[in-house]
Structure 1
Amino acid sequence: VEVGEAVGTIAAQSIGEPGTQLTMRTFHTGGVASNSDITQGLPRVQEIFEARNPKGEAVITEVKGEVIAIEEDASTRTKKVFVKGKTGEGEYVVPFTARMKVEVGDQVARGAALTEGSIQPKRLLEV
């Protein structure tokens, strides 16, 4: 965030986006929003307002590059995702039950989500 930037406007847009998406989803499904849309959307807005860590947080990469391997470790019930780029390498431990958004060979940018879930804004800014 730069000095003089309209942070209030950015915050309002961030808060309004989930509501807009819910409205659009309702429109495209013939006026029917599922309970999960509503019950999952409201806690996310609350997480943003309270600056809490989101439930089901996505694992994000700090390295721009290629996913070179995804290994499962049954003993620890985790997966390890390996990303190799020109500026370095990254190894990310992911819960075994997490839904992956990437596959071996995919190109990823810094801050890209490797798993499904909400991205913590503070964590994204650190990357």
Structure 2
Amino acid sequence: MSETVQDRIKSRSDAAFAEEERQGTMLAAQVRTVALAVVLFWQAIDSPETGASYYFNLLEIFVFVLLGGLQFFAAFSRRGGIGVQYAFVTVDCLLLALMFSLGTPFSDTQWPASIQMDTARFLYFLCS
């Protein structure tokens, strides 16, 4: 009989830890999405880029805002578990690597990768 009680206690504590982890993921996704929305608004107002390069930069930030929102709703709906969290982290890392290594294809000047890390684009890395 004591094993049954221990099993129930373990089951309840596992469920409580899983719920707290889900709540933490939701909070992190909310904070990230709001921070990136502020960066998107800031870049829309104060971007030195023009033309297609301007819209491409805004699209890049919007993709990260969208990913943060999707991560929040995935955690909110309790679908996928830990695998979905790892998928979002993987997609974020891949997109950041592509952004930093390829740069903006519509820009008039192409900077070396070391110089690109010293621009406002580095803010994406801090918020993601």
Structure with a larger share of its residues in helix: 2
By the TM > 0.5 criterion, same fold? no
Structure with a larger share of its residues in strand: 1
Structure 1 length as normaliser, TM-score? 0.33
Q: Which has the larger radius of gyration?
A: 2
